[in-house]
Amino acid sequence: MKIPLCKGGELLKTSIIHFVISAIIGLGLGYLVYDIILDSSDEDTVLTQEQATDQTAAVEEEDEEVETPDVENVSNEENILQTKGCIGCHAVEGLNLQGGVTGPDLSKAYSEVEGKHGKPLQEFLKEPTSAVMSSVIGGSPLSAEEIDQIVEELKKAAEQ
């Protein structure tokens, strides 16, 4: 039996329709699987953070009477660099904050930003001159208070 290759273009149309349907189903399944995996890993992260918070609270209760004045106690939730997501891309070794490796370590940012970007750190955080930071901060602008807190933290990091 001989199959016509192009009888009025029907075989070609059928092939294209099958391809499109397969692509839609494949992408949909891929998205669902990714979403399920992503959701379960987020729940694990939240659970781990909650456990860490509970452990930190327990240790702080035990150590309330034995507190050294030279040591600054800052919980993860209170650090502006973590709450604003800076640690997602940057580490700050000067503050012992392990973070992402996409961006540079911010330990020396307080003293180096002006030389690299032509404006002091506080002004850079208001209006970044780098394309990446412009899009990041443009999507989530910092308040004046947040900028002051970040500058203060990075000043501490530079002094270490």
Considering only the C-alpha atoms of the chain, give the largest distance between any 2 of them, rounded to a whole number of Å.
92
Print pLDDT tens along the chain (160 aa). 555 555 556 777 888 899 999 989 888 888 777 777 665 544 444 445 555 555 555 545 554 444 433 334 444 446 888 888 888 889 899 888 888 888 888 889 888 888 888 889 899 888 888 888 888 888 888 899 989 998 999 999 898 8
Q: What domain count does the chain have?
A: 2
Q: Which residues contact 56 (CB under 8 A, 6 or more apart)?
A: 75, 76
In terms of residue numbers, what domain contains 121? Answer: 80-159
Are 98 and 150 within one domain? Answer: yes
Same structural domain for residues 89 and 47?
A: no
Q: Are 73 and 60 in contact (CB under 8 A)?
A: yes
Q: Is residue 56 in some structural domain?
A: yes
Question: Are residues 133 and 95 located together in one domain of the fold?
Answer: yes
Residues 140 and 104 in one domain: yes
